[in-house]
Amino acid sequence: AQSVTQLGSHVSVSEGALVLLRCNYSSSVPPYLFWYVQYPNQGLQLLLKYTSAATLVKGINGFEAEFKKSETSFHLTKPSAHMSDAAEYFCAVSESGGSYIPTFGRGTSLIVHP
Amino acid sequence: DAMVIQNPRYQVTQFGKPVTLSCSQTLNHNVMYWYQQKSSQAPKLLFHYYDKDFNNEADTPDNFQSRRPNTSFCFLDIRSPGLGDAAMYLCATSGRGQEETQYFGPGTRLLVL
């Protein structure tokens, strides 16, 4: 069965600092991995996804994530945080050959300080 | 632009008074989902449709029902809302495939008085 663990319910960074949001997955088959962002009082929006092509995936708003099979990780990074990046971030996984319904992590709230 | 629309954005209802939330999509996706999201939590899947096939999650209360009269529209009916049903309700759509992106509407925030 697939599962996702997001380490840290809150991450706080200063504006201009590196953003690192951690996601580890569990899957018995090759996974598809997603990062979604949710701004206050809005729905979720796809940032990027891994679908077994390049292991380094670039997304919107300067975010990227690297799929590391050996570490079962798909951490989200951004070199320089902006105040507008403050939001809730969700990692999700689905399995090739399995259900098309993704399993979401519990989310990480990114706080950006001036 | 193709999108997922939810109405209303905010809904206030009284304890026990039925309420219906609506969702429409212009993406022509086969799959439509309803999620419940409480504060600082991940979305919790209530049910989903693949075309007209209805799939209920095992732990979704009977108080929650859904209808999908056509490809574009889907409704969430809460028959007798309780205080614990106050939440954000998110509608999402996708194609049918494990690699498919889910497209979310802006949500309806339900308040139960």
For the segment A74-101, what is each residue's pLDDT rounded down to a tens digit? Answer: 999 999 999 999 999 999 998 877 778 8
CA distances from B76 to A103, B46, B64, B65, B71 (A): 21, 10, 7, 6, 15
The token duo for B106 is: 């802006």
DSSP string, B99-112: TPPPEE---EEEEE
State which residue of chain B sits closest to A104, comparing Cα positions.
B42
On chain A, the residues whose CB falls within 8 A of the CB of B90 are 43-44
Per DSSP, what are the bridge partners of residue B28?
none
**What's the pLDDT tens digit per position in B3-27?**
999 999 999 999 999 999 999 999 9
Q: How far is CA B18 from CA B46, B75, B105, in A?
A: 17, 13, 22
CB within 8 Å: B107 and A42 = yes
Tokens standing for residue B61: 């209360």
Query: CA B18 to CA B66: how far, in whole Å?
Result: 13
Q: Which residues 18-57 of chain A have a CB within 8 Å of chain B? A: 32, 34, 36, 41-46, 49, 51
- Is residue A41 pLDDT above 90, yes or no? no
- Taking 90 as the threshold, does the pLDDT of residue B66 lie above it? yes
- B94 vs B111: CA distance, rounded Å: 28
Answer yes or no: do B109 and A41 touch at CB < 8 A: yes
Chain center to CA of B102: 13
Residue A94 is inside which H or E element, if any? strand A87-95
pLDDT at A107 over 90: yes
